[in-house]
Amino acid sequence: MKTNILNISFILIFLGGAVSYTEQKVGLYVGYLLTLSGIFLLTIKFSLISKYKSLLIIVYGIALIIFSLIPFLITQSTVVELGSVFQSILYSFIFILLILFGWRVLLADRDVLIKLVLIIATANGIFALLMIAGLVTKLPYKDVALGRYIFGTNIRSSSGLMFNVNYYSTVQAVCFFIYLWLNSLRNHKFSLGVILIAALLFMSNFLGSSRGVALGIFGALPFVFFGFYLKSKLSIKIILAMFFCIVSLLAFYFFTSNIEFLQEASRYERGLNSRDMIWAEAYNLWLKNPWFGYGDVDTFSRLTTVDIGGGSIQSGYYSLLLRGGVVSFTLTYVFILCAIFFKVGFNSERIYDNRWELAIVVFFLINTYVRTYNVGGLGLLPISFVIALSSLLFKDELKVKLDMKITQKA
């Protein structure tokens, strides 16, 4: 019975996170409703575990909420939007609730969740291909518009079922990491079928041609390989180290010899999309009120003259600095870094055991720099990040639970 409830909870959470990326209004609200329903079901049906650790997290959560509200009380802005106040509180609540209960995803039926991830990614990828081929020109909730050229080609990128190409690539990449994470819990050695499916998920991501997502993937995967390296025997370590050095030298030669081609293929200048100007303006604005920020992130669009395309700062870090200043920023990200160091540290065994969780965390942290993903947000990427972080924090309790399930089945 409890497994069924867990399955329903995380189906709602993951499905809602993906649906929220499909369309700006209806899709956003439907996705948020599904995700919040899943989180609500998760929190009312299951009790806290490790009371001391949970108490510390709850105290931290209360402090996070209090400091997220202080900027609204001291802001010099004459207009404080209630929606922004509610959003700041909601971010903190979601973050804490998923930290406390998100690790239970690994007690759910992994086959069910793997199938869900594959359904989302497959539907998204197939529609992207059909749109690129011109076989689908309209969806019920949006007109199909192809995006920039796929890296180094003359083929237009596609947004698939999502709102734009960046969200398309984000969904495919998150599905790629979750698929491998869940499969790694069943068997440390992947079958050929799992590897082939993972390769397809990996390649499908590039149909969206998102630079930030590509950077996040290549920044996160080394943590997985590093985990394998630490776990390997000495002879294998020597071979892997030599292979890494050779690949690094070849990559360095290729990049330095083809820098102009790579900049053109990745559309580096266009990829910035005025981010350099936006971030410079955001930085200067933050310096005027560094400790607690402005509360309402829309203050940015009211106090600056830079055209920021609908008010997006294009960075979760700058967004948080402007909303809550260095206090909220430190509370949020120092907690994340301390949680990782506390549970993983420099222990090779722990790094290996948590390699996929670390990859998801790093993927989020990289993407947050170039997109406005917020810790505690309800999209698929922020949700997956917090669930992975929760798994890191409650890994010991999780192993006890898994051992109990194995004993009961036996």
What integer pLDDT is reported at residue 246 of this predicted model? 77
Q: Go through 203-219 and write b for each residue having 16 or more CB atoms within 10 A of its CB, e for each that does not.
A: ebbbbbbbbbbbbbbee
pLDDT mean over 271-286:
74
In this prediction, residue 53 carries a pLDDT of 84
Q: Are 104 and 46 in contact (CB under 8 A)?
A: yes
Token code pair at residue 248: 């690094």
Question: What predicted TM-score, i.e. pTM, was given to this entire model?
Answer: 0.86
Q: What CA–CA distance (Å, rounded) separates 311 from 221?
A: 32
Least confident piece of the model among 66-70, 240-244, 278-282, 374-378? 240-244
For residue 22, the 8-state DSSP code is T
Q: Which residue has the higher pLDDT, 237 or 102?
A: 102
Strand partners, 139: 142
Q: Are 398 and 107 in contact (CB under 8 A)?
A: yes
Q: Which of 361, 360, 357 is nearest to 398 (CA)?
A: 357
Place of tokens 């559309």: 267
Provide the percentage of residues in the chain whose pLDDT is more than 70: 77
Mean pLDDT of the chain: 79
pLDDT band of residue 171 (cuts 50, 70, 90) is: very high
pLDDT tens per residue, range 34-48:
988 998 888 887 777
Q: 156 φ, ψ to 5°? A: -70, 140
Q: Which tokens hold the place of 317?
A: 């870090």
Half-sphere exposure at residue 333, Cβ-oriented, CA atoms within 13 angstroms: 19
Least confident of 74-83, 338-347, 357-366, 394-403: 74-83
Angle between helices 165-186 and 355-370 (to 10 degrees): 170
Q: What is the DSSP letter of 156?
A: B
Contact 1, 27 (CB under 8 A): no
Position 268 pLDDT exceeds 60: no
What are the structure tokens assigned to 177, written together? 């990491």
C-alpha span between 166 and 159 (Å, rounded): 7
How far apart CA 161 and CA 19 sit, in angstroms, is 9
pLDDT of residue 328 exceeding 80: yes
Contacts of 21 (CB under 8 A, 6+ apart): 27, 31, 162, 163, 167, 170, 171, 379, 380
**pLDDT score of 176:** 94
Handedness of CA 206, 161, 28, 179 (dihedral sign): negative
Site of tokens 């990614």: 121
If pLDDT is split at 50, 70 and 90, which confidence band does 210 have? Answer: confident
Q: Which residue has the higher pLDDT, 255 or 178?
A: 178
